[in-house]
């Protein structure tokens, strides 16, 4: 505990602003903390968000930042630890209050997949896959998800 005295407004603002910190061996690694938060994420205090909404919003930021590092021939996917489920090409994402986050997509063969995850078990491994053959250009779900955050405040 420190002896810092904060006004009520400063205390509320501090509670509403998420703290982020990352350190990387090189400057080429995507860093979420260097990105401004979408206004919609800032508009609603963290204390007013469900754990699912808060996990969803932060995962969206990491997802978009990872996509920014991909070339035109690769798309975002996620791998699974501890299962033979393989890889899911992320084509959609959502949450169901108070504690579920879900990912929608396809496997490399094109079969539909959906992961429904409790936030206490949330682990996401982002992977780059060659873009799907039927996509003329690589899909960028992260940019759509951040746009949705900007347009919908929860």
Tell which residue, 129, 139, 137, has the closest CA to residue 109: 129
Residues making up the chain, counted from first to last: 154
In tens, the pLDDT along 77-130 reads 888 766 677 888 999 999 989 999 999 888 888 888 888 899 999 888 888 888
**93 within domain boundaries:** yes
Tell me which DSSP letter residue 119 carries.
G
User: What predicted TM-score, i.e. pTM, was given to this entire model?
Assistant: 0.72
**85 within domain boundaries:** yes
Instruction: Answer whether 38's CB lies under 8 Å from 145's CB.
Output: no
**57 within domain boundaries:** yes
**91 within domain boundaries:** yes
**26 within domain boundaries:** no
β-sheet with 87-96: strand ranges across? 112-118, 100-106, 87-96, 74-79, 125-130
In tens, the pLDDT along 2-58 reads 555 655 555 554 455 556 666 656 666 656 666 777 888 888 888 889 999 999 998
Full domain range(s) for residue 126: 50-149
């Amino acid at each position: 505990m420190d002896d810092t005295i904060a006004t009520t407004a400063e205390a509320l603002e501090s509670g509403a602003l998420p703290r982020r910190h990352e350190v990387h061996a090189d400057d080429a690694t995507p860093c979420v903390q260097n990105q401004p938060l979408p206004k919609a994420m800032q508009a609603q205090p963290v204390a007013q968000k469900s754990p699912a909404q808060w996990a969803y919003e932060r995962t969206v930021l990491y997802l978009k930042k990872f996509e920014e590092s991909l070339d035109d021939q690769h798309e975002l996917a996620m791998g699974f630890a501890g299962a033979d489920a393989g890889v899911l090409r992320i084509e959609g994402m959502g949450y169901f209050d108070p504690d579920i986050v879900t990912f929608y997509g396809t496997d490399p063969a094109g079969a539909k997949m959906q992961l429904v995850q409790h936030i206490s078990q949330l682990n996401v491994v982002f992977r780059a896959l060659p873009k799907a053959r039927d996509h003329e250009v690589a899909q960028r779900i992260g940019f759509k998800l951040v746009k949705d955050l900007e347009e919908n405040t929860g």
